[in-house]
């Protein structure tokens, strides 16, 4: 039945199993370890000959429901919940890269993903090449005999470039590479990379999946074969697993994901149209606009354009910072997908691990601002932006 459900139904019902108490809400299993009936049963569970819970780092009933639900939404065989979005990215990469391997990634990614790739992986003898994924020829040219993985975000953090997943999957398959896509900005309700041939999907569940700004978590979705390594080798040994309570909070947040996303998208579309026509805004980056290069993939790859907008003020760095400091309603904070509208300065905040030269190559300018459009009244959101732009000096 779950395969026939629409996503709005799956997000509420998929992955649920009956519980002894008959509770409508998923019980929180806040236990670190699980009791065996006998020493023989314990040995059987450790050997894998008997299914069952052992220790929450290896699996937990509450966490398992979250994993089943996200796998159903993404259309993957399985999923693993992690302690953060970066834990999800790390697990996916470490499961597929070894000393001497090569990774091709988009030159614009979240700042900590960039730092992981360019600083941490280098310590283990893993080479990384960063290219503009809009240029398909550049991706092909970057692939080497030792390339094992191709990685990108789409839309890209922070400037919302959109990459064609069908093309990326095709390139990966032609060269026998593992393809990994960060789907945080879209969620599986707006985009399902696995249906386009992508091997692994990662999320920062901190963002839209939870939606309430009170959890740090991540998700990895993949085939059973990939998950054997990701979950039962990498995450088991590294230990970057989610707590049951955080899994429970995300399960609660997911029940409203469909209705929240609709409001986020409605508000973001209105804000993007407003900003595009404002004389003090030089560029607006939002796939929902016809002027955006990724707009052509709406309907075929993305159901809607999401709730994040980047824009450049016709202003200096100092003026841009002043705009952030004096704007009302918006909270100055990183992250996205919360009920509150957020504003931040990527060059000095989320993408500060980039050098100035690397930022320029990735298109992250000093006057680029990123907003996560919240669930407030659209009239109040636009009025706050208008007041801030009127006072831009």
Q: pTM score, two decimals?
A: 0.95
Q: What's 315's domain CATH number? A: 3.90.1150.10
Preceding peptide of 176 cis, ω within 30°: no
Could you give the percent of the chain with pLDDT greater than 70?
Answer: 99
Residues 99 and 23 in one domain: yes
Least confident of 70-74, 106-110, 328-332: 106-110
Residues 211 and 250 in one domain: yes
1 pLDDT higher than 60:
no
Helices and strands per DSSP (H, E), number in the chain: 16, 12
12 pLDDT higher than 70:
yes
Using alpha carbons, select from 89, 70, 330 the residue that is nearest to residue 208: 70
pLDDT at 16: 87
3-state secondary structure (DSSP) of residue 119: helix
Q: What's 64's domain CATH number? A: 3.40.640.10
Model confidence at 22, pLDDT cuts 50, 70, 90, reads: confident
Mean pLDDT of the chain: 95
pLDDT at 360: 83
Residues 361 and 219 in one domain: no
83 pLDDT higher than 80:
yes
Residues forming a β-bridge with 152 = 181
Average pLDDT of 233-240? 95
Least confident of 127-131, 133-137, 276-280, 351-355: 351-355
Preceding peptide of 294 cis, ω within 30°: no
325 pLDDT higher than 90:
yes
Domain boundary among 239, 254, 269: 254
Average pLDDT of 267-274? 98
Q: Considering its fold, how many domains does the chain have in total?
A: 2
pLDDT at 290: 96
Tokens describing residue 338: 């919360």
Model confidence at 392, pLDDT cuts 50, 70, 90, reads: confident
291-304 tens-digit pLDDT:
999 999 999 999 99
88-133 tens-digit pLDDT:
999 999 999 999 999 999 999 999 999 999 999 999 999 999 999 9
Taking a C-beta distance cutoff of 8 angstroms, is the pair 104, 142 a contact? Answer: yes
User: Could you give the CA distance from residue 189 to residue 179 in angstroms, rounded to a whole number?
Assistant: 20
Domain boundary among 223, 254, 285: 254
Residues 68 and 135 in one domain: yes
Residues 270 and 186 in one domain: no
Average pLDDT of 310-333? 95
User: Could you give the CA distance from residue 209 to residue 203 in angstroms, rounded to a whole number?
Assistant: 9
Residue with structure tokens 């191709």? 150
pLDDT at 2: 66
- Exposed/middle/buried for 377, CB within 10 Å: 0-12, 13-18, 19+? exposed
14 pLDDT higher than 60:
yes
Q: Are strands 78-82 and 308-313 parallel, antiparallel or unpaired?
A: unpaired
Average pLDDT of 137-146? 97
Question: What are the DSSP calls for 25-62, one per residue?
Answer: SPP----SB---SSHHHHHHHHHTSS----BTTT--HH
Using alpha carbons, select from 118, 169, 161, 98 the residue that is nearest to residue 139: 169
**Which residues have a catalytic role annotated?**
57, 110, 182, 207
**Residues present in the chain in total:** 393
User: Could you give the CA distance from residue 9 to residue 345 in angstroms, rounded to a whole number?
Assistant: 37
250 pLDDT higher than 90:
yes
User: Could you give the CA distance from residue 354 to residue 345 in angstroms, rounded to a whole number?
Assistant: 13
Full residue range of the structural domain in which residue 332 is found: 257-390
Q: Are strands 218-222 and 281-285 parallel, antiparallel or unpaired?
A: unpaired
C-alpha dist (Å) from residue 184 to 120, 189, 331, 368, 379: 22, 11, 20, 20, 27
User: Could you give the CA distance from residue 46 to residue 35 in angstroms, rounded to a whole number?
Assistant: 13
Residues 241 and 297 in one domain: no
Residue with structure tokens 């220790």? 55
Angle between helices 257-276 and 378-390 (to 10 degrees): 30
Residues 124 and 191 in one domain: yes
Average pLDDT of 2-28? 87
Residues 328 and 224 in one domain: no
Residues 284 and 136 in one domain: no
């Amino acid at each position: 039945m779950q395969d026939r459900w629409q996503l709005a139904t799956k997000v509420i019902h998929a992955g649920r199993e009956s519980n002894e108490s008959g509770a409508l809400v998923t019980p929180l299993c806040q236990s670190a370890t699980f009791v065996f009936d006998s020493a023989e049963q314990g040995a059987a569970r450790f050997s894998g000959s008997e299914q069952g819970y052992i220790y929450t780092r290896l699996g937990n009933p509450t966490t398992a429901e979250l994993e089943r639900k996200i796998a159903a939404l993404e259309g993957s065989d399985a999923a693993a919940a992690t302690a953060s979005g970066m834990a999800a990215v790390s697990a996916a990469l470490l499961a597929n890269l070894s000393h001497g391997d090569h990774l091709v990634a988009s030159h614009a990614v979240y700042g900590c993903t960039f730092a992981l790739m360019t600083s941490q992986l280098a310590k283990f003898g893993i080479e990384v090449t960063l290219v503009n994924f809009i240029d398909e020829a550049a991706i092909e040219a970057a692939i080497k005999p030792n390339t094992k993985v191709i990685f990108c975000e789409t839309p890209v953090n922070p400037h919302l470039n959109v990459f064609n997943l069908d093309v990326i999957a095709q390139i990966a398959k032609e060269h026998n590479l593992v393809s990994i896509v960060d789907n945080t900005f879209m969620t599986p309700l707006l985009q399902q990379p696995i249906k386009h041939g992508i091997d692994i999907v990662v999320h920062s569940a901190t963002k839209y999946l939870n939606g309430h700004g009170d959890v740090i978590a991540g998700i990895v979705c993949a085939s059973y074969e990939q998950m054997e390594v990701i979950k039962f080798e990498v995450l088991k040994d590294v230990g970057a697993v989610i707590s049951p309570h955080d899994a429970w909070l995300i399960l609660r947040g997911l029940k409203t994901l469909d209705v929240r996303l609709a409001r986020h998208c409605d508000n973001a579309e209105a804000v993007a149209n407003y900003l595009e026509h404002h004389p003090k805004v030089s560029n607006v980056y939002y796939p929902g606009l016809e002027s955006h290069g990724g707009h052509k993939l709406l309907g075929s790859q993305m159901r809607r354009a999401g709730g994040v907008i980047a824009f450049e003020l016709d202003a200096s760095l100092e003026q841009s910072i002043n705009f952030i400091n004096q704007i009302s309603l918006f909270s100055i904070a990183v992250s996205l997908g919360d009920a509150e509208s957020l504003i931040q300065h990527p060059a000095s905040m989320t993408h500060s691990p980039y050098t100035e030269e690397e930022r320029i190559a990735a298109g992250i300018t000093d006057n680029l601002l990123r907003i996560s459009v919240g669930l407030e009244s659209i009239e109040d959101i636009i009025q706050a932006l208008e007041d801030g732009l009127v006072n831009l000096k």
